[in-house]
Amino acid sequence: MSTTPAAAKEAPGRLELVRQFINTADIAPAEDELVDLDALAAWLRKHGLLRAREHLAAGDLDRALTVREGLRDLLEARAGDHRPRTASLRSLNSLLSGALLSGAFAPDGAPALSPAAGTPLDRALAELVAIIVSAAGDGSWERLKVCADHGCRWAFYDRSKNHSRSWCNMAVCGNRAKAREYRRRRRGERAQSVSR
């Protein structure tokens, strides 16, 4: 949600790129940065995931949007402490099947994954997967979440000590959720008093 302070939204290191990719769609005002293939190419170039002379192919926009929403669903399932839907995982894995990675060692000896081959979109998606794998290894992937408000679903990084944050912005989404719960309880109390 755009009203959250920038520093509170950002994920550490390159994981921020994954968060930004998921947030190319803002559900609350129904805005999507990736409206067509040119917009997707521009976004990927801006973030260093597509070279200047590389071009995307027909079908790449649908594939990228499906991966984006698959990642959002994956984060939502994890936040709800339930397993992701099998069909959703199968679809996400199928779409990422061309996103091949290779392992290498940096000059300092640190291991790293990088895109190996495939179409320009495959390499861009492989880079996002490499970031996620690295973040899973250092524990930061577990802190990337989506807002529990189903009308929002904005990806945010949970910086709370106990990893329990549920909303991207307590003042907006958190208060909305609390107000809905309050109204639900009040309706229940009124219905109970009428039935007596």
Encode pLDDT of 72-109 as tens digits.
Answer: 999 988 877 678 888 888 989 999 998 899 999 989 99
Q: CATH number for the domain including 167? A: 1.10.3300
Give this prediction's pTM.
0.83
- Note whether residue 35 is domain-resident: yes
- Note whether residue 144 is domain-resident: yes
User: Residues 148, 79: contact at Cβ < 8 Å?
Assistant: yes
Structure tokens at 4: 């959250």
**pLDDT at residue 50 above 70?**
yes
| Number of structural domains in the chain | 1
- Closest among 128, 112, 137 to 15, alpha carbons compared: 128
- Note whether residue 14 is domain-resident: yes
**pLDDT at residue 189 above 70?**
no
- Note whether residue 136 is domain-resident: yes
- Note whether residue 141 is domain-resident: yes
Structure tokens at 43: 């976004």
- Note whether residue 71 is domain-resident: yes
* H-helix or E-strand spanning residue 45: helix 37-46
Q: Residue 101's domain spans which residues?
A: 6-194
* H-helix or E-strand spanning residue 194: helix 175-194
Report the chain's mean pLDDT, rounded to a whole number. 85
- Note whether residue 1 is domain-resident: no
